[in-house]
Structure 1
Amino acid sequence: MTLTPRDGGPVMLTGELQPVSLPDGSAIKTMLYRADTRGPAPAIVVCPGGMGTGMFEIVEWAASRLRAAGFHALSMNYRGDLPTHDPDDISQAFDWLAEQPFIDPARIGLFGVSRGGNAALRAAASDHRFRAVATFGTVSDFLQQAYGTAAFAPARHRLITGWLGDPVTARSFYERIQAINHVQTIVQPLLLLHGEHDMHAPVEQSIAVRDKVMAAGNRDVTLELFPVLGHFGEVVPSGFAYDHLASRFIPFFREKLG
């Protein structure tokens, strides 16, 4: 049973299911969180992590807080278990949002966690319509994950390679889907949040993203590291830091999207 950190009960999704069409005639599932606003308002596409097609429950905490702050939010599923088409799916979500009368298409941002952070960075690199990007606990270098876990966490290594393939024989695939190979074309304001106790995506992955984006000429990049914070927002030894994280990315979006 999935639990919330707040009350120990089941996660209650508070958005509305919304299919978004793909060019091939299929559709992805999204969940819309409409803010109580008057006139067209900014929106955030929220990208979950995971090795499947995505779980809305993973980012309910972020989408619901964005809505309460006056942003419309659209949380994602992906078309497939593998992250091959994640940026394309995110761009389709942008297209759908831009057509809605309650959305200001000039003020759409991106927020992603874990795999969703990787997806958000890749989408931002190829689709400059997104005005601002924030991530938490981003897995930006799958090759580093695959090789680094081989001795440190063999079970995690088997999980990653069972998902993405052997990093030697499938190296070209890894390089195609990992954000670190694409972030040099990110021109938008970028906020990177990462826990120093993240045992799934080490902080070096966000540090490398910051350094590569800035080296390419984008100076509007902020990296914030949080002590005793883990990959899922958990605070060692107990509790979750969702409100604290939201206190960082909500002001960021307010400043960058207006």
Structure 2
Amino acid sequence: MAAGHGTLDPAHFTPGQYIHYPTTDGLEVPAILYTPQGLSPQGRHPALICAHGGPTAQFFRAFDAEVQYLASLGYTVLCPNVRGSTGYGVAWRDANLKDWGGRDLADIAAGAQYLRGLPHVDPARIGLFGVSYGGYLSYLAPVKYPDLFKVSVPIVGITDLHQLHADNSRDMPQLGYYFRTMMGDPVEDAELWRDRSAVTHAHALKAHLFMMHGANDPRCPVNQARGFRDALLATGKQEGQDFEYIEFADQGHGTADIEGKTRSYRLLADYLRRRL
């Protein structure tokens, strides 16, 4: 039975293409690539990587309103199922255990290199965005790989692993336990946690950043965004010039409300139009 699309014509949707691209250690990353229809053959065009949450989630070739919206605006969008994703076996799912911001992040960087090699993509206009764990990668990628991305948009993301664990352990103990199963012990693995926290490397940021966070987020509290904003200010960067920042007083860890989603989509599109 055909899906109902209301007044929308499915012929206007951008089809997703299953691909694999090489990553740093010789493996290949499964991904879905959305190339806008009707791109002008003259010149090159901007592209985006969308990092999923989880980390144990995955992109399917299914209708994604945000990706379709961005593709309709002319952005090529790559949705990679990096290490830590489900759907590709236990070894792939567990490949980022005690390695958040390691090989999974290298897979994101390899995705940017893949986009740079596409004939219709402008290699100087590649951006990154993601929600939750995708937001974590969207904070960390531009400070660990500062020359790859022109812009990055972390949404309800993580910047400080020690702070996140302390807050989760106090307010949502099950998440504190989950986090320890993923990244080890906050004391024994303290150096790893510091290295894999974007706030540690805020001084390395070259890309322009747009941070969005819900003020009522219990999973990734808003101090994650505020802390990174303060770290950027401490390096001499200026809000409005070097980065943009917004808090949603009426949101938590994202929103299922259509008005909230529409607001976020429009803010993202406006930012990309101006900065990418």
Contact 2:24–2:107 (Cα < 8 Å) also in 1: no
Counterpart Cα distance in 2 of 1:56 and 1:240: 24
- Cα distance, 1:214 vs. partner? 2.7
Counterpart Cα distance in 1 of 2:68 and 2:118: 19
Are residue 81 (structure 1) and residue 96 (structure 2) matched? Answer: yes
Are residue 108 (structure 1) and residue 126 (structure 2) matched? Answer: yes
Counterpart Cα distance in 2 of 1:188 and 1:252: 13
1:81 maps to amino acid: N
> What is the 5 A alignment of 1:19-168?
19-36=20-37, 37-39=39-41, 40-52=44-56, 54-56=57-59, 60-79=64-83, 80-82=95-97, 83=100, 84-125=102-143, 126-168=145-187
1:44 maps to amino acid: L
The aligned counterpart of 1:9 is none
Gaps of 5+ in 1: 1-5, 7-12
- Cα distance, 1:240 vs. partner? 6.6
* Stretch moving more, 58-67 or 39-48: 58-67
Contact 1:56–1:77 (Cα < 8 Å) also in 2: yes
1:169/1:250 CA distance change after superposition, 3 Å: same
Contact 2:23–2:106 (Cα < 8 Å) also in 1: no
- Cα distance, 1:124 vs. partner? 0.7
TM-score where L is the length of structure 2? 0.81
Are residue 225 (structure 1) and residue 244 (structure 2) matched? Answer: no
The aligned counterpart of 1:3 is none
- Cα distance, 1:166 vs. partner? 1.7
The aligned counterpart of 1:213 is 232
Q: Which has the larger radius of gyration?
A: 2
1:70 maps to amino acid: G
Q: Could you list the per-position Cα deviations for residues 117-143 of structure 1 after superposition, in whole angstroms to 9, with x for gaps in the alignment?
A: 221222111232311111110111121
2:253 maps to amino acid: H
1:127/1:61 CA distance change after superposition, 3 Å: farther
- Cα distance, 1:77 vs. partner? 1.8
| Amino-acid identity (%) | 26
2:21 maps to amino acid: V
* Alignment RMSD (CA, Å): 2.3
1:234/1:240 CA distance change after superposition, 3 Å: farther
TM-score where L is the length of structure 1? 0.86
- Cα distance, 1:64 vs. partner? 2.2
DSSP 3-state at the match of 1:101: coil
Gaps of 5+ in 2: 1-5, 7-13, 84-94
Question: Number of paired residues?
Answer: 243
